[in-house]
Amino acid sequence: MKPISEVHVAEPGLAIVEVAAADDETAFAVQELLAGRWATATADTTTRAPGEPGVRLRCYLDVRQEIGS
């Protein structure tokens, strides 16, 4: 994964969540749960690191903006 950019955590309420999961389905399910609660920039794909188990996914949240409030 790329290094974290300062702009994504430039102020309180912004967060980056990295999910490690056994498979794509699980990683996307976790992302969907987060996106159901907060404004979320979602990922379309997961990554695999050679020699490491499972997949990784990174999404960006703004926890100041709850969905449905």
Over residues 45-52, the mean pLDDT reads 94
Any domain includes 52 = yes
Any domain includes 47 = yes
Over residues 21-36, the mean pLDDT reads 96
Q: Are 13 and 30 in contact (CB under 8 A)?
A: no
Any domain includes 1 = no
Written as six digits, the tokens of 37 are: 């609660």
Any domain includes 32 = yes
- What digits encode the pLDDT tens for the residues 54-67? 999 999 999 998 77
Statement: the pTM of the whole predicted model exceeds 0.85:
no
Domain count, the chain: 1
Any domain includes 42 = yes
Any domain includes 53 = yes
Domain span including residue 13: 6-66
